[in-house]
Structures are given as structure tokens and as C-alpha cells.
Amino acid sequence: MQLVEVNDLSIGFHDRDKVRPVVDGVSFSIARGEVMALVGESGSGKTLTARAIPRLLPDGAVVTGGSTQFAGEDLGAVSETRLRGLRGAKIGMIFQEPMVSLNPALTIGRQLCEALLLHKPQPREAVRRQALEMLARVGVSEPERRLAQYPHEFSGGMRQRIMIASVMLPRPDILIADEPTTALDAIIQRDVMDLMLDMTREIGAAVLLITHDLGVVADYADALAVMRDGRVVESGPASETLAYPKHDYTKQLLKSLPGKPEGTHVDSTKKPPLVSFDGVGIDFARKKPWPWSPRRYFHAVRGVDLDIGAGETVAIVGESGSGKTTLGRSVLGLIKPASGRVIFDGTEIGARSKRPFNHFHNRIQLIFQDPYSSLDPRMRVGAIVAEALRLSGMSKVEKLRRASSALEEAGLPHNFAGRFPHQLSGGQRQRVCIARALACNPDLVVADEPVSALDLTVQAQIIALLKELKERRGFTLIFISHDLAVVQEIADRVAVMRQGRILEVGPAERLFDAAAHPYTQALLSAAPFLSIAEDSGAYQLRHRAPRPVAPPAGHGYFDPDTAGDGDRPLMYDLGAGHRVAVTDASSH
């Protein structure tokens, strides 16, 4: 008998006097111990389908047909009391955004113990002991101290580990994981997936994995169902379905996978730098435990040196908390360096007063990671784009005309200017963000994770749009990302950061093909990717396996884990603009 069976499930939303269908006749089953993946773009109905199993549909949604069964029990027919007994205890759910799904007002310890106390009452000391063991099991250091901390004190990867710990404590029979690795870098993504699946295998639980990352599906899933417009268009064993897709939409998804860059890249060595980071250090004050305690600082960026040529695309990659976003924002004047200099077109940014910075406002623009939260929901799209021109001296009519032109250049019809952000899809909202950034014809654009929250097909469209606009406009692009496949497609050069320091920098193709630093190699080997086999034409799962490279004679590779706060690496030149962080072996 199957553990979970979804039979001809249909779901709709109440729309005035009728029900608008959004999921139409979906069927699949999951056996105990099996990993089943649901794949599809935003709006395909995959999350609604998964939420229908524990009956956690949003307001306004209603099941209009079919059934969901768990261990032979019809979940649509059971009482709410019975459902409360199943949720958490038998059916666990990991939500997409751990910061939203963890209560910011409650300590980690209280949230960890909540489900266990509710479903399996026992002495609090026993529950606390289990919580400590689980935190250690998921790789959270100093579990005793961590129990008293709050979610905001943890990184994204750590919050996701805590979510896994809280859901797995009651030992559920099935784990529903909704985009559990979105916005995590390759190493943390691999660690989270390995941890989640190791723990479910220990207790023999099934997993329903909702994701748009086909590399993760190929690496971890046993079975796959591809959804589009509320229907399952193709299903079967994951390896077979991905290797030989039959439906046109599945083929389209696979063709949208980012791959090797095409065409020629900018040779930055022949142009003067537009942006220079000269020994940049950025500190954030830590919270003082007592008013009389001395001020302590977190060193987010430590002595970074990097030149970016005019017209160049430089990607900055690294794990959460590596300092890549902080470094990118320093060139916008949003963060002032504690040491060193940020120079834009010959002018030091950190040294400018607020008023002169307005002179550079139109020349430097930012594309945010989350297109929804960065757009004012009360403003129409045309006004949002025109707002970027508020210091241009143009009349209101001229601003709106320029905004309409920027929207069309970003691939949106002029009539979109009258819409509100909530009336647009995720990809359309990101196009609005791009239009806003380019409306004032900037010389430099900083794109902070601009495609991390988008589906494969939309992601491919946005990458193609950025490449086209950059070629047409000739602006310089700082591209901050954790997605190595996207970086490989769009970047001229790549800088790899960890713990506030640059560990390796070089031309994209050279760095991906001949990475030297052990951390860069670990990043590359952690990211699964699908590629077409030349002999058979089938899509195959691959893992990069970089060969270890001996450090230059007389040097060792710089290790930020063992380095002191004031230690700065030497950037050794490997040739062709490829440099790696090393230490002088004679100094040890």
C-alpha cells in the first residue's frame, strides 16, 4: 500500500460567485521511503497540491474534486481534531522561507520543543535533551547556548537546519519540503539536502520535494512529476524522465538550464577600472550584553582589493554571510567602509558628503533580490520606474515617457505602467526592477541575486534580457549570486568570497575549468548540474570534480577558518588575470 495517494485532485479559488480552477485532476502516489519531486514554474499549482495533503490550503482555496489519502485514510473526510493529530506528528512540512515560518518572537528552544510537547507529551527535561541532541545532529554548534537565541541571530542556512530539526523531532512518516534550498549557496544546499534525506532514511519516512532546481531533482529524487497550469504533464522515475523527456514543456525546462557562456566576454585588462575596492574593510557593531560592556564588532568585509573595468560583468559568489552583498552595497554608498576606499570613476565614494552623492545617483543603480518587497505595493508600475528619475531635473511628463520606454525595453508593454505590483508575475516584477534601474541610463548596475527566486524558464528570460541590455547599453555589471551555473553564463570574471575575504578571482571560463583554491573547488563540486551527453543526446546528472592544485612554491592556500581577524592573504598571480589567496609558508 502507498503511504500517500493523490487521486484526481482539483482545487479552485472562490472568485465572486464562482470557483476559479487552479489545480485540475492531479494524481500521484508516494511509497514509504521514496523521494518524490514536484517540479513546475510559479503558478503551476505544485505548492497548492502539496498543501492539500495536510489540508493547509490558503483562505479562499477549496478542493473541488478528487481525494488525498494518507496510510489509507481519506484526509478530506477526517475531522479537524484528527488532522491536528496528524500534522506535525505524522505529516511534517518545511516551508520555503525559514525566517517567515519561524516565529521571530520565540526562542529556538521553545519552537523546537513545541511539536514534541503537543504530540508526544513527556517531561520537559526529556524534551530539552532531545532538542539538544537534534541541534547537534543537524550541525548547529553550541546547542545549549543556541536554545536561548532567536531566529534573526542565525544565517539562512542555519535557520533551515533549525526548521529541519523542529520538523523531524516528532519523527513524521512523510516530510513535505517546499523549496527547502532556495537562495542557499551550493555547499549549504548540499549539506541541507543530505541532512534532510539522511534523517528521513533513518526513520523510513517519505519525502515530497517541491523545487525548480532540476539538478537537485536529478541528484536526490526517485520519482518526478512535472506540473504546468495545474496539471501533471509528465511523470515517472526521475532519472529516466530527465534523461529522455517526452513532453514539450519538460524539454523547455531542461533547455532553460543555464550553461556555458556564449560569445565573447569583455577583456577588462584593456580598460581602466570604473570601480576599485582598495583594502576595503566593513564592520558592524555587535549588540552589547551590558550597557558598560566594550563595543565589539563583526568584520563583514576584510581588506578586499578588486578592480572592475568599464563594461565588464564581474560576479561575486560565496556562501551566506561571506560579505558579497555588503561589498556590493558599499559602492552604492549605502554602507560606509571602516577602512580602505571604494572608488567610482576616480571619486572616493565613502569620502563624499550626502549632497555630492546625489550627483552620482543616476550613474549607479541597484537591482534587488526580491522583486516584490522592493516595489511599493501602493504605487503603479509607471510611477515606480519614474521615481528613479526624481533627481534628473525632468518634468513629470518626461519622466513618465522615459519610464514607459524603459518598461518596453525590459520586455513589458506600455500599458503595464498603469498596473500595481501585485497584478504582475514574479518575472514581470523583476523586469520592472530592471526597467527602474536602467531608466536613468546608469554606468554601473549592482544586481543582488536577481534571479534566485525565479523559475527556470523565467530565470532564463531575465538572464537573456540582462545580457541583451548590457550589450546594447554598455553598462558595467556587478552580479552577486550563489548560483554557479548562472554565473558561468553571464560573467566575464568571477570573485569568490568567504568570511569577508576574496579567495580567488579570475576569468569565468578559466576559474570554472581550473579552480585553484580548495574552497572554490568545494563550491564547484557541491553543485549538481544536468548536461546533454553528446553521444546519446540524453540529459545526464554531473558533478564537477576539480583536480586538487598544489599551492605555488613557498606558499600555502589562505584558510579564513584559521586566520586571525587582521590577517590578509597575498593574491598570487597564476597568469591570465587569475589570482588566488595564499599565505607565505615561511611565516609559519
Out of 112, 146, 169, a domain closes at: 169
Q: Are residues 156 and 102 in the same domain?
A: yes
Q: Are residues 504 and 558 in the same domain?
A: yes
Is the pLDDT confidence value at 353 over 50? no
The alpha helices in 122-266, defined as continuous H runs, are: 124-137, 143-146, 156-168, 186-203, 214-220, 238-243, 248-255
Residue 200 inside a domain? The answer is yes
pLDDT band at residue 277 under the 50/70/90 scheme: very high
| Termini Cα distance of the chain | 63
Q: Are residues 21 and 38 in the same domain?
A: yes
- How does pLDDT run across 375-402, given as a tens digit for each residue? 899 999 999 999 988 877 788 889 889 9
Out of 209, 225, 255, a domain closes at: 255
Q: Virtual CA dihedral for 329, 335, 337, 343, nearest 10 degrees? A: 50
Number of independent structural domains in the chain: 3
Q: Are residues 161 and 204 in the same domain?
A: no
Out of 134, 169, 204, a domain closes at: 169
Residue 410 inside a domain? The answer is no
Quote the percentage of the chain above a pLDDT of 90: 47
Distance in angstroms (rounded) separating the CA atoms of residues 524 and 503: 14
Q: Are residues 32 and 67 in the same domain?
A: yes
Q: Name the DSSP class of 341.
A: E
Burial class (CB in 10 A: 0-12, 13-18, 19+), 343: buried
The CATH number covering residue 480 comes to 3.40.50.300
Distance in angstroms (rounded) separating the CA atoms of residues 327 and 311: 19
Q: Name the 3-class secondary structure at 135.
A: helix
Is the pLDDT confidence value at 156 over 70? no
Tally of helices (H runs) and strands (E runs) in the chain: 20, 25
Q: Are residues 131 and 278 in the same domain?
A: no
Distance in angstroms (rounded) separating the CA atoms of residues 368 and 480: 10
Q: Are residues 283 and 227 in the same domain?
A: no
Residue 407 inside a domain? The answer is no
Q: Are residues 478 and 569 in the same domain?
A: yes
Of the two residues 420 and 154, the one the predictor is more confident about is: 420
Residue 199: the pLDDT is 87
Residue 280 inside a domain? The answer is yes
Q: Are residues 11 and 112 in the same domain?
A: no
CA 384 to chain centre: 25
pLDDT band at residue 12 under the 50/70/90 scheme: very high
Cβ atoms of 305 and 273 within 8 Å: the answer is: no
Residue 401 inside a domain? The answer is no
Is the pLDDT confidence value at 99 over 70? no
Q: Name the 3-class secondary structure at 419.
A: coil
Residue 417 inside a domain? The answer is no
Question: Which range of residues forms the domain containing residue 115?
Answer: 97-169
What type of residue is 507? Answer: P
Residue 423 inside a domain? The answer is no
User: 261-265, 310-314, 577-581: which range is least confident on average?
Assistant: 261-265
Is the pLDDT confidence value at 52 over 90? yes
Question: Is the Cα dihedral 103, 106, 108, 109 positive or negative?
Answer: negative
Residue 391 inside a domain? The answer is no
Q: Are residues 355 and 464 in the same domain?
A: yes
Mean pLDDT of 120-134: 88
Cβ atoms of 469 and 407 within 8 Å: the answer is: no
Out of 98-112, 182-196, 285-299, 308-322, the most confident range is 308-322
Q: Are residues 188 and 165 in the same domain?
A: no
Q: Are residues 132 and 190 in the same domain?
A: no
Distance in angstroms (rounded) separating the CA atoms of residues 532 and 244: 10
CB count in 10 Å sphere of residue 27? 14
- The DSSP result for 140-174, as a single string, is -SSHHHHTT--GGGS-HHHHHHHHHHHHHTT--SE
